[in-house]
Amino acid sequence: MDKINEMLLRRKYKVNLPIRNPIHKTSKSEKAMIVSIVKNIESLGFTFDKELFENLMTYPKDDIEKFYIDLVSKLKALVGADKVYTPMYPNFPRQVAEADAVELFINAIDHYWTFGTLMPEYEKDKRMPLFEDKNLTVLTVGTTGDVFEIFKNLVGSKTNLSKQDKDDMKNIIATYPTFYDYLPDEIPLKENVALIGKFILLKAAIKNARAIQKYYKTATDVLRLITALSDGDISLASKTKYRSLRRCERRMVMNLLAGCGNILEDMYRYKYEWIRIGEIIHPFEYKRKKYDTVNDAFDILRNGKKPLFIPGKVQNAINSGDIHTATMLLKNRPGDFARQLDKLLRDAVDKNYIINCFREVVNDISVPVLLQVRQHFNDRNNGNPVRVFFPKGNLAKAISIPNKLTVIDDKICKIIVKICDNAIIEQFKNKDFMGNVYIDDEMRNFLIPFSQRSASSGSKSIVRGSRIGLNDNAKAVRAFIWWTNTNNSRVDIDLSATIYDENWNYIKHISYTNLRSTTYKAYHSGDITNGGSIDGEGVAEFIDIDIDTIAKYGRYVVFQVYSFTGQKFSVLSNCRFGWMERKNVDSGEVFEPSTVDMHVDITAEGVTAIPVIFDCQTREFIWCDMNLSISQNRSHHFGNNLESNLHGVTAVCYAMTHLSKPNLYTLILLNTMARGYIVTDRNKADIIFSNDTTPPVEIIETEDEKTGEKKLVEHEKSDVQVITAYDTDYFIGYLL
C-alpha cells in the first residue's frame, strides 16, 4: 500500500487516514503531538484540513507517531527535501557576490586538480529566518474511491501516458484484486491496451488471456502486447529485441491474431517486426482452420509481393494531382483524412468538395485529433515563422522548420474550426452533465496532455509548452540540481543559465565558467565536479537570478543541465533539477522546501537537458522538459557545456516559445458548451477549474440562540470539486 499512498499524495494531495476509533478520547499529549505535526509540516509547505485533523485525533499516540514519520518522509520526497543540498559556498548567494575573483579562481583550480575531492572550507554564517509568504497546500483525506478514480481515468485515456502514469496503473492492478470491476468495455488508447494486457498477464499468468481478448482488434494491438512483454517501446517508434515466448504465450498470440479478422495490411505496416515474431511463434505449427488467415498473412508477408493498400493508393492519387480520388479513399479512413486535410485544401480546385467530405466523416474522428486540427486551422495564418514537430516516441526532442505553407483563405480556416467545434461538442454530449462550471483564465496557459510518453517524473505533472505563473511577491528565482556518482564512475553535472532578449539574441550566461554577473544580479553557487558516493548525501549547485534586473536588459532565462562527464542522464541513479521562488535570497536556508515550486528527475536519453525557460517579462516559467540530440550537441572538444551548445539550445527554445497547441481552457469550454453552464462567480459553481484551490463559500442566514438576532455567515462548500491544471488524469479521463 505504500506506493498507493505515495500516489494519492502526489496526485491528489490526499492522505489515506480513515477514522480509527470514533469514541477515542484524545489525551492532552496526543493533541499537542497533532498540533506539532501540523506546525512541522508547514516548513515543507503543507497543512491539514479539518477532516484530516479530526480523523487523526481518533488514533492512539503510537499510531500518530508512525503516521507522522511516514507522512514526513513522503512529503519531503514530494518537495525534494529528501536529499541534502550543500553548495560549494555555504553562504550563497552573498558569498559569491562579494568574493574576490582570485579567491574564486584558486578554489576552482584546487577543486579541479583533486578531481572534485577537495572543497573550500568556509564557516556557515547564521542566516536570517525565512521571510516568505507561504502558500500552504492543504492535505485532505483520501479513500479507495480516489484510487480507482485515478485508475479509471488512466485506463480510459485517449492520449499516451507518462512513465509515472504507467507505474501508477501497474501498482493499482498489483495491489487491488478488484481492479477488474473498473476496466471499461473498451480501452480507447492502443498503448494502454498493451499495458493492461501485460499487467494482467504478469498478475495472473496466461490463464487470464481471455479477459483481455476483447480489447485486441488489430494485428498492431497484438504487436504492442508482444512488445510490452519484451519491455520494448510500445509506441513502436524504435526497435525492440523480442524475447522468446513460452508455448502457451505463442498460442495466445495466435488466438488473438485469429480474432482480429483481416490482418494483412496491418501487419505490413510493421513487416520486419512480424517476420521476426513469426520466427519466434512458429505459426505454421498451428493447423486448425481458425488459424488459416493468420498463416496466410505470415506466408504473404515473408514470400509474397506487397499489395497496394489504401495509404499507397492515396499517396499515388495525391502525387498525380487526383485530389478527388484521394479524398474518396480517405473518407474510409477519417483519422487519416483529418491529418491530410491541410494538404487536400491546398491542392484542391474545388475546396467546398473537400470541406463537405470532411463534414461527412468528422463525427468518426477522435476528439484529440479534432482538437489538434481545430488548433492548426485556428492559428494557420497567424504569421508564425516556424512549424514545430515532436518525433513519435521521443517527445523530449523538438524539430522546427520554416513555415512555408501556402495561405488558405481565412474563411475556409474558420469553417474547418466551426466544423470541429460542432463535432467535438456533439461527442461531449454523451458524457455526464457538469452543472455550473467556473473556468479560471489561467487555464489558457496550460496545454492539453495529448502525449506524456516521455515526460519526466516530478512533483507535478505538466505538459511541455505550458506556462506556470510566478507568485507576485517573488523577487528572484533559484534553480538547483542535485546528483551523485554511479557505482563505477565519477559524475560531473553542471547547471547553467543563458539570458536572451525577446528576439532570442544571446546576451549573457551564468555557469561554472562565469559564476556571477553583477550587472544582472545572477549568481552560480560554484562548480562541483564529483557527485560523491551513490549512497551518500550527494552534491548540489544553485543559480540565483534577480528578475527585475534581468528584465531591464533581456527577456528569457534558459536553465540547462549538462552531463560534463558524458554519461546519459538515463543511466544515472540520481540526478534532479528544480526551482524555488524567493522573496529574500539571503533569508532562510539556501534550500527551503516550502519555496520549491517544482522538481523533476532528469532521466533523458541524452547528455544535455533543458528543463525550463523563465520569461522575465510575463513572470512565467515555460515548461520544456527537453533534451538535445547528438547532432544538436555538435562537437564537445572541451567538454559538454553551455558554450558548446548555444546554437542547439537557442533553436530548441525558440521552437518551444512558438508552439501552436490547444490549451485546457478550450477543452473545458467545449465540454461545458456540450453539458453544462459557464458561471463567472466561483462561489456559484458545481465544479471549479483553477490552480487556486481555495474552497468556494455560500452565504447562510443564521440565528443567534440567545438574542434571536439573524446574521449572514460565510460557509465553506465542501462538495464542490476543484480541478487544477496538474490533475492530468482528470483531463485525459473525463474531458478528452
pLDDT at position 631: 43
Torsional sign, CA 393, 396, 399, 400: positive
Provide mean pLDDT across the span 149-172. Answer: 92
Region 351-366 average pLDDT = 96
* Dihedral over Cα of 98, 101, 104, 107: its sign: negative
Please indicate whether residue 134 or residue 728 has the higher confidence score (pLDDT).
728
Q: Please determine, for residue 646, whether its predicted confidence score (pLDDT) is greater than 70.
A: no
- What stretch of H or E contains 94? helix 94-98
Give the integer Cα–Cα distance in Å for 36 and 50.
15
Q: What is the rounded distance in angstroms from the CA atom of residue 343 to the CA atom of residue 552?
A: 44
pLDDT tens string 452-491: 776 777 788 889 899 999 988 899 999 999 999 999 999 9
Q: Specify the pLDDT at position 647.
A: 65
Place of cell 553535472: 493
Check whether 634 has a pLDDT greater than 90. Answer: no
Mean pLDDT of 9-34: 92
Q: CA distances (Å), 74 to each of 43, 71, 154, 465, 530, in order?
A: 14, 5, 23, 29, 28
pLDDT tens readout for residues 189-215: 999 999 999 988 887 666 656 778 889
Q: Convert 524-549 to b/e letters by CB count within 10 Å (16 or more is b).
A: bbbbbbbbbebeeebbbbbbbbbbeb
| Buried/exposed code over 680-700 (b: 16+ C-beta within 10 A; e: otherwise) | eebeebbbbbbbeeeebeeee
Give, in order, the Cα–Cα distances in Å from 469 to each of 503, 571, 692.
21, 33, 12
pLDDT for 636: 45
What is the rounded distance in angstroms from the CA atom of residue 44 to the CA atom of residue 74?
11
37-52: pLDDT as tens digits: 999 999 999 999 999 9
Q: Which of the two residues, 706 and 545, has the higher pLDDT score?
A: 545
Torsion angle of C-alpha atoms 156, 158, 159, 163, degrees rounded to 10 = 20
As a whole number of angstroms, the distance between CA 419 and CA 563 comes to 48
- CB-based contact 9:78 (threshold 8 Å): yes
395 within 8 A of 451, measured Cβ to Cβ: yes
Q: Is 559 left (phi over 0), alpha (psi -120 to 50) or beta?
A: beta
Cβ atoms of 634 and 617 within 8 Å: the answer is no
Angstrom distances, CA of residue 468 to CA of 165, 462, 649: 21, 9, 21
Cis peptide before 311 (omega within 30 of 0): no
CB 211 within 8 A of CB 197: no
Q: Which of 72, 80, 71, 79 is nearest to 141 (CA)?
A: 71
The pLDDT score that the predictor gives to residue 394 is: 54
**φ and ψ at 586, to 5 degrees?**
-100, 5
Fold designation for 467-656: Lipoxygenase-1 (2.60.60)
Q: Is the pLDDT of residue 142 over 90?
A: yes
Q: What is the pLDDT of residue 633?
A: 45
Whether the model clears a pTM of 0.85, i.e. scores above it, the answer is yes
Q: What is the residue-averaged pLDDT of the chain?
A: 90
How many Cβ atoms sit within 10 Å of the Cβ of residue 209?
21
Backbone angles phi, psi at 246, to 5 degrees: -70, 165
Residue 283: its pLDDT value, please? 93
| Residue ranges per structural domain of the chain | 2-9+19-80, 189-303, 308-365, 435-441+663-735, 467-656
pLDDT of 305 = 83
pLDDT at 584 over 60: yes
* 393 pLDDT more than 60: no
- CA gap 628, 649 in Å, rounded: 7
More confident residue, 425 or 638: 425
pLDDT in tens, 419-448: 999 999 999 999 999 999 999 999 999 999
Could you read off the pLDDT of 57-116 as tens digits, one per residue?
A: 999 999 999 999 999 999 999 999 999 999 999 999 999 999 999 999 999 998 888 888
pLDDT of residue 205: 65
Between 180-194, 380-394, 429-443, the lowest mean confidence (pLDDT) is in 380-394
Q: What is the distance between the alpha carbons of residues 642 and 645, in angstroms, rounded to a whole number?
A: 5
Contact in structure between 270 and 223 (CB atoms under 8 Å) = yes
Q: At what angle do helices 247-258 and 292-303 cross, to 10 degrees?
A: 90
Mean pLDDT computed over 499-514? 92
Summarize the confidence of residues 539-566 as an average pLDDT: 94
Burial (CB < 10 A; 0-12, 13-18, 19+), residue 361, is: middle
The residue among 334, 403, 407 whose CA lies nearest residue 373 is 334
CA–CA separation, 730 vs 156, rounded Å? 10
Take residue 103 and report the three cell numbers written for it. 579567491
pLDDT of residue 498: 93
The C-alpha cell at 288 is 486448425
- The span from the CA of 116 to the CA of 286, in Å, is 63
**CA–CA separation, 646 and 500 (whole Å):** 11
Sort 719 into a burial class: Cβ within 10 Å, 0-12 / 13-18 / 19+: exposed
Residue 244's CB: how many other CB atoms inside 10 A? 9
717 vs 43, more confident: 43
CB neighbour list of residue 90: distance below 8 Å, 6 or more residues apart: 122, 123, 124, 125, 590
Phi-psi region of 190 (alpha: psi -120 to 50; beta: other; left: phi over 0): alpha
Identify the bridge partners of residue 623 per DSSP, sorted by sequence position. 612
Task: State whether residue 446 is helix, strand or coil.
Answer: coil
- Quick check: 684 pLDDT over 70? yes
Percentage of the chain exceeding pLDDT 70: 95
pLDDT band at 605 (very low <50, low <70, confident <90, very high): confident
pLDDT (tens digit per residue) in 318-343:
999 999 999 999 999 999 999 999 99
